[in-house]
């Protein structure tokens, strides 16, 4: 007969004198146990334990050494399953190459995270679970194809942190000196993807990124929403030693009130990035940098004050750019850019195609058109995928009142933007 216990299949057919007692499975003959694809030998008069919950282990009043042995056994099983998963990923990678499909699919990753966190009974926390599987997926993608990702650097900037959050540590993350350089790396095929900042909840849009989409044919394939915390870092770690503060203009603006209250007479100097600020301060005992916590460990600095941003909910949105559109997911958003004709009632006309179809517009941003004075280009985010019939029809109608329309990408929403069922 065959047994099926909590998803574990016992093969081949076991004799009648195999039996359960409590949490233990006993077998009086030699058989093979198929543990989700791996064979484990059961010898005469040995027993195999069914998976136990933490409460079950503790209720048996085991010693620390005995519990550690159980943990080691679980780790061995996890290792076996990880390698099984890796083998399947390699097989999928071969199929993708044969079908000329993208090997990085953000919607699939989102699906994995949400499914696992939805099924997680605890006590292992969901955020930690997501981090673990972030690295499992990162290492798996590296088995399919080595991944190179350009980001607006240098290292220890918030864009670097966003890239690590999105792609994990197994991807090759390549810092670039400017946002245009990130676009260029991806356009030339030197990197498969790029990560650039586009918007901060306190200071608004990053104009350099928006301007690049006017010239580039790259697509937005995903986005990263990063909660940003700013740290005041120095060599000594003492507030009274600080005679000058360095940082990028965005963090300086986000910490303006804190600086006025705590360092009112200290000059603040703009530099190219928070990482550059940390580099400067690493050689100056009388200076401080506003940077990430990661920068403190990378450049050997001490934390003077933590979380000095003025707004509690301080988020920065980053875009992941690639050469092809992302696959449709269950809950997408689409980004457009367009320039309207200079006619009476044009703003009403450009919104009407979306309003009459009930399509929610989540953001509208305008930028001056550099080639012509007093004309503007609009950036728009909406709920839905470009392949949805209503969205496709609305974009088609929008073209009638625009000089040009460009779809920048359709991609999965971040978890904070998910549409409520």
The DSSP secondary structure of 397-409, one letter per residue, reads HHGGGEEEEEEEE
Q: Scan for tokens 């064979």, then name that residue.
A: 39
Question: What distance separates the 2 farthest-apart alpha carbons in the chain?
Answer: 89
User: Strands of 24-27's sheet, edge to edge?
Assistant: 19-21, 24-27, 46-49
Q: Report DSSP state, residue 13.
A: P
| C-alpha 270, offset from chain centre | 28
Give the CATH number for residue 113: 1.20.59.10
Give the CATH number for residue 194: 3.40.190.10
Same domain, residue pair 220 and 262: no
Among 102-111, 204-213, 260-269, 356-365, the least confident range: 102-111
Same domain, residue pair 336 and 410: yes
pTM: 0.75
Single out the residue of 94, 138, 106, 93 nearest to residue 325, CA to CA: 106
Same domain, residue pair 150 and 100: no
Q: Which residues contact 98 (CB under 8 A, 6 or more apart)?
A: none
Q: What does the block give as tokens for 279?
A: 């580099």
Same domain, residue pair 334 and 399: yes
* Residues forming beta bridges with residue 287, ordered by sequence position: 244
Tell me if 56 is assigned to some domain. Answer: no
| C-alpha 212, offset from chain centre | 22
Residue 156, by phi and psi: left (phi above 0), alpha (psi -120 to 50) or beta?
left
3-state secondary structure of 259: helix
- Tell me the helices (H) and strands (E) count for the chain, helix number first: 13, 22
Cα–Cα distance measured from residue 188 to residue 415, given in angstroms and rounded to the nearest whole number = 31
Cα–Cα distance measured from residue 311 to residue 292, given in angstroms and rounded to the nearest whole number = 16
Tell me if 263 is assigned to some domain. Answer: yes
Which H or E run includes 337? Answer: strand 332-340
Same domain, residue pair 274 and 337: no
Same domain, residue pair 124 and 200: no
Beta-carbon-side half-sphere exposure of residue 11 (alpha carbons within 13 Å) = 9
Residue 60: per-residue pLDDT: 63
Cα–Cα distance measured from residue 414 to residue 257, given in angstroms and rounded to the nearest whole number = 30
Percentage of the chain beyond pLDDT 90 is 55
Which H or E run includes 3? Answer: strand 3-5
Percentage of the chain beyond pLDDT 70 is 83
Tell me if 245 is assigned to some domain. Answer: yes
Same domain, residue pair 207 and 258: no
Which position has the higher pLDDT, 213 or 204?
213
The range of the structural domain enclosing residue 130 comes to 64-139
Choosing from 121, 139, 157, the residue where a domain stops is 139
Same domain, residue pair 46 and 95: no
Tell me if 360 is assigned to some domain. Answer: yes
Same domain, residue pair 334 and 412: yes
Residue 415: per-residue pLDDT: 63
Tell me if 22 is assigned to some domain. Answer: yes
* Per-residue model confidence as pLDDT tens digits over 305-319: 999 999 888 899 999
Tell me if 172 is assigned to some domain. Answer: yes
Tell me if 57 is assigned to some domain. Answer: no
Region 26-36: what's the mean pLDDT? 35
Same domain, residue pair 45 and 69: no
Residue 372: per-residue pLDDT: 67
Q: What does the block give as tokens for 96?
A: 């993708």
Q: What does the block give as tokens for 131?
A: 């981090």
Cα–Cα distance measured from residue 105 to residue 175, given in angstroms and rounded to the nearest whole number = 23
Tell me if 59 is assigned to some domain. Answer: no
Among 44-58, 94-108, 280-294, the least confident range: 44-58
Choosing from 319, 344, 363, the residue where a domain stops is 319
Strands 287-291 and 244-247: parallel
Give the CATH number for residue 410: 3.30.70.260
What residues act catalytically? 316, 318
The Cα-based distances of 410 to 76, 121, 351 in angstroms read 41, 33, 19
Residue 121, by phi and psi: left (phi above 0), alpha (psi -120 to 50) or beta?
alpha
**Structural domain total, the chain:** 5
Single out the residue of 290, 255, 286 nearest to residue 276, CA to CA: 290
């Amino acid at each position: 007969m065959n047994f099926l216990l909590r998803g574990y299949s016992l093969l081949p057919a076991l004799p009648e004198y195999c039996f359960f007692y409590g949490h233990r499975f006993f077998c009086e003959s030699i058989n093979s146990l198929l543990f989700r694809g791996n064979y484990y030998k059961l010898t005469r008069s040995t027993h195999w334990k069914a998976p136990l919950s933490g409460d079950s282990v503790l209720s048996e009043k085991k010693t620390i050494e005995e519990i550690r042995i159980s943990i080691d056994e679980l780790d061995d099983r996890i290792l076996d399953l990880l390698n099984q998963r890796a083998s399947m990923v390699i097989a999928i990678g071969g199929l993708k190459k044969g079908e000329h499909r993208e090997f990085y699919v953000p919607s699939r990753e989102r699906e994995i995270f949400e499914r696992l966190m939805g099924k997680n009974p605890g006590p292992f926390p969901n955020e930690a679970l997501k981090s673990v599987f972030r690295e499992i997926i990162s290492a798996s993608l590296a088995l399919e194809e080595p991944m190179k990702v350009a980001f607006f650097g240098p290292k220890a900037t918030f864009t670097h942190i966003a890239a690590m959050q999105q792609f994990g540590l197994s991807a090759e993350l390549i810092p670039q000196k400017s946002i245009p350089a990130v676009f260029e790396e991806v356009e030339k095929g030197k990197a498969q993807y790029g990560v650039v900042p586009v918007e901060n909840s306190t200071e608004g849009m990053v104009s350099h990124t928006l301007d690049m989409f006017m010239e580039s044919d790259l697509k937005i394939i995903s986005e990263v929403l990063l909660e940003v915390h700013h740290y005041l870092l120095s060599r000594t770690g003492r507030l009274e030693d600080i005679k000058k503060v360095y940082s990028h203009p965005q963090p300086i603006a986000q910490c303006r009130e804190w600086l006025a209250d705590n360092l009112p007479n200290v000059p603040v100097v703009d530099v190219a990035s928070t990482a550059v600020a940390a580099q400067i301060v690493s050689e100056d005992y009388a200076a401080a940098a506003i940077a990430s916590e990661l920068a403190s460990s990378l450049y050997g600095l001490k934390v003077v004050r933590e979380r000095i941003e003025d707004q509690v909910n301080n988020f920065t949105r980053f875009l992941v750019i690639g050469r092809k559109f992302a696959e449709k997911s269950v809950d997408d958003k689409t980004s457009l850019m367009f320039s309207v004709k200079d006619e009476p009632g044009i703003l009403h006309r450009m919104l009407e195609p979306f309003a009459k179809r009930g399509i929610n517009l989540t953001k509208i941003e305008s930028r001056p058109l550099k080639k012509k004075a007093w004309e503007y280009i609009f950036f728009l985010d909406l709920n839905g995928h470009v392949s949805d019939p209503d969205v496709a029809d609305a974009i088609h109608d929008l073209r009638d009142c625009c000089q040009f329309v460009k779809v920048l990408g359709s991609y999965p929403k971040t978890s904070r933007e998910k549409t409520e069922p």
